[in-house]
Amino acid sequence: METRSNHVLVGGVVLILLAVLALFLVWISRFGAEGKREYDIFFKQSVDGLAKGSAVNFSGVPIGQVKDIALDAKSPEFVRVRVSVDDKTPILLGTTAAVQGSFTGPSTVQLDGAQQGKPLISCENSSCALGVPVIPAKPGGIGALLSNAPQLLERLTTLTERLTALLSDRNQVSIAGILDNTNKLSKALADRGPEIAATLAETRIAIQKAGIASQQIGDLAATTNGVLANDIKPTIGNLNKTIAAAQRSMETLDAAIGDARPGLQAFSKQTIPEVGQLVHDLREMAAALSSVAEKVDRGGAGSIIGSPKLPDYKGK
C-alpha cells in the first residue's frame, strides 16, 4: 500500500516538472520572438548558398536571419524566403531584397533602398499572401549572374560562331585586300599632302571672297530698296495718277461720241443729199449764166430780148 502511494507521488511530481518545463519553453520562445518582425521575399532566381540561419543584412549591417526557405506552392518558379529581422530596423516602402553570393562563405540576404519619410512595409500597403508583409526582390550579385549564365553562354556561342564565319579563309583574303587598298590610299594621300593643303588654302580664300561678295550683295539690295522707296515709288505714283486721268478722258470722249452719234446719223442721211442737190442746181445755174454771157458776147444785149434778125434776100 505504501509502495503504491510512492509511485503516485513520484508520477505527480514528474507531471508537475514536465508542465513547468513546457511553460518555460513557451516563455523562452515568446521571449525570443519579442522584438522581431517577419517578412516574405519571393525570388525568381537561384538561391544557391542560402539556408536557414543565413544572415540578413541591411546596407551591410546584420539585422536578422533566414527563418525558412521553400518553393511557392502556387508559382513554383518563385522561391519563398521568410526572414526574421529586428523590429527596430526601418524596413520602409522602397526597400528591396537581393541574394548576395560569396565564393568563400554562405550567401546572405541584402536589404537596401529604403526611402526616408515612407511608412514601414506592412500588410496595409503591401501583399500579405501568407500572413506576413512581402519585401520586393531584385536580381543581384552572383545569383543573378548564375541565373543568366545559360543565356549568356548561348549568346557567347552565337557570337563565336559569327566571328568564326567572319574570319573564314575567303573573308580573310578580302580583309587583307581591303587593308592593302587602305594602305595604298593612305600613301597616295600622304604624297598629295602639299596639293591638298594648297587646295584647302584656296578653298578658304574662295569662302572668304564669297562672304565678302554676299555682304556686297546685301549692301546692293539695301541700296536698291532705298532707290525703289525714294525715287521710283513716287514716279510710279505719278504714273498711276496719269493713267487714271487718261482713263477718265477716254471715258469722257466715249460719252461725247455717244451723244454726237444721232446728229451725225441725221447729217449723213438728210444734209448730205440736200447739199448734193444744191450743188447740182448751182451747176445748172452756172451753165445757164455761161449761155447768157455767150449770147451777150455775140449779139449784144439785144440778143437777150429778141431773136436774131434774118438777112434780106436779093434776087439775081
| pLDDT for position 274 | 65
> For residues 112 and 90, is the Cβ–Cβ distance under 8 A?
no
Beta strands in 202-255 (DSSP E): none
* H/E stretch holding 86: strand 79-86
Give the span between the Cα atoms of 6 and 257, in whole angstroms.
165
| pLDDT for position 69 | 93
| pLDDT for position 35 | 74
Q: Which of 37, 117, 44 is nearest to 82 (CA)?
A: 37
Where in the chain are the domains?
A: 34-144, 150-190, 193-262
Give the span between the Cα atoms of 65 and 107, in whole angstroms.
11
Q: Which of 87, 11, 72, 63 is nearest to 40 (CA)?
A: 72
User: HSE on the CB side for 74, CA within 13 Å?
Assistant: 3
At how many degrees (to 10) do helices 169-191 and 193-227 cross? 70
pLDDT in tens, 199-245: 888 888 888 888 887 787 877 777 766 655 665 566 666 667 767 76
pLDDT in tens, 91-115: 898 899 998 876 667 888 999 887 7
pLDDT in tens, 146-187: 556 667 778 888 888 888 877 777 877 888 888 888 888 888
Higher pLDDT, 29 or 68: 68
> For residues 38 and 91, is the Cβ–Cβ distance under 8 A?
no
- The full length of the chain comes to 316
- In this predicted structure, the answer to whether residue 81 has a pLDDT above a threshold of 90 is yes
**Across residues 300-311, what is the average pLDDT?**
50
- Taking the whole predicted model, whether its pTM rises above 0.75 is answered as no
Q: How far is CA 109 from CA 55, 79, 172, 214, 285, in A?
A: 7, 13, 51, 72, 153
pLDDT band (50, 70, 90) for residue 313: very low
pLDDT in tens, 253-299: 666 556 655 655 555 566 566 656 766 666 776 666 666 566 656 65
| pLDDT for position 140 | 63
Give the span between the Cα atoms of 198 and 21, in whole angstroms.
105
| pLDDT for position 135 | 92
